[in-house]
Amino acid sequence: MSVLMWAVLALLGGLAVVWVGGRRAQPAREPLPEGVELPATARQRAAWGARGAGLLLSGGAAAGVIVNGPDRTYEDDGVRLLFTALVLAAVAAAAGVTMWAKRPGAKAGALDERDQAILAQAPAAQAVAVLVTLAIWTVGLTERFHGAGAVPVFYLYLLFWSCLLVNLLAEPVGILAGYRRS
């Protein structure tokens, strides 16, 4: 299996762990009456946006590496800068919801008990998701480069960015899972 497939598997595995962990970390809610739904909160809409933008931008970066190959992406300055710009934009999009939700200038009554409980539980699966991502990368890189005895530098670059993005995307996923269960 190619290293790029391991990278995609690492991202998908990390996101799956985040979703399952976020869902399991939230307490069960009382059922709403039939036909009644709670409206989406501002934090919930921000989490949807952060998750969507983060996945779109990181998917674009991953597609660029798959199309160009890791060697060309690393050696060609233009391709590498585009990859880095996409990854940094994904980091900004994914981290934006965290910064917005926990900003110091928020109104005193902006967070009710439900919001506070969800924000407290949202990062519950981040560590597990990063560990799963690292495990997938470690197995993939070890299998691919066992005979070479060393891992090319660019793959370590990919490992870092994928772990960072999985960590940052875990919080919006946790927020969405919390609102879904509350």
pLDDT of res. 182:
60
Does residue 171 fall inside a structural domain?
yes
Which domain, by its residues, includes 140?
Answer: 3-25+56-104+111-181
Phi, psi values for residue 80, rounded to 5°: -65, -40
Does residue 35 fall inside a structural domain?
no
pLDDT of res. 82:
93
Does residue 138 fall inside a structural domain?
yes
Asked if residue 80 lies in contact with residue 73, where contact means CB atoms within 8 angstroms, the answer is: yes
pLDDT of res. 109:
47
Measured between alpha carbons, how far is 170 from 127 in angstroms, rounded to an integer?
A: 9
User: Taking the CB of residue 91, how many other CB atoms lie within 10 A of it?
Assistant: 19
Mean pLDDT value across residues 143-172: 86
Hey, CA dihedral for 166, 171, 12, 82, is it positive or negative? negative
Asked if residue 172 lies in contact with residue 50, where contact means CB atoms within 8 angstroms, the answer is: yes
Does residue 60 fall inside a structural domain?
yes
Does residue 123 fall inside a structural domain?
yes
pLDDT of res. 144:
83
Q: Which amino acid is at 170?
A: A
Asked if residue 79 lies in contact with residue 68, where contact means CB atoms within 8 angstroms, the answer is: yes
Measured between alpha carbons, how far is 178 from 26 in angstroms, rounded to an integer?
A: 6
pLDDT of res. 108:
43
Does residue 149 fall inside a structural domain?
yes
Q: Whole-prediction pTM value?
A: 0.70
Taking only the tens place, the pLDDT of each residue in 94-153 is 887 667 666 655 554 466 677 777 777 777 778 888 888 888 888 888 888 888 888 888
Does residue 153 fall inside a structural domain?
yes
pLDDT of res. 78:
92
Write the Ramachandran bin of 26: left for phi over 0, alpha for psi from -120 to 50, otherwise beta: beta
- Highest mean pLDDT (candidates 23-27, 59-63, 114-118, 178-182): 59-63
Q: Which amino acid is at 49?
A: G
Structural domains of the chain, count: 1
pLDDT of res. 3:
66
Does residue 50 fall inside a structural domain?
no
pLDDT of res. 23:
64
Q: Which helix (H) or strand (E) holds 131?
A: helix 126-145
Measured between alpha carbons, how far is 169 from 126 in angstroms, rounded to an integer?
A: 9
pLDDT of res. 38:
66
Mean pLDDT value across residues 70-99: 88
| DSSP three-state, residue 154 | helix
DSSP letters along 39-89, please? PPPHHHHHHHHHHHHHHHHHHHHHHHHHHHHHHHHHH-HHHHHHHHHHHHH
Taking only the tens place, the pLDDT of each residue in 35-66 is 666 666 677 777 788 888 888 998 899 888 88
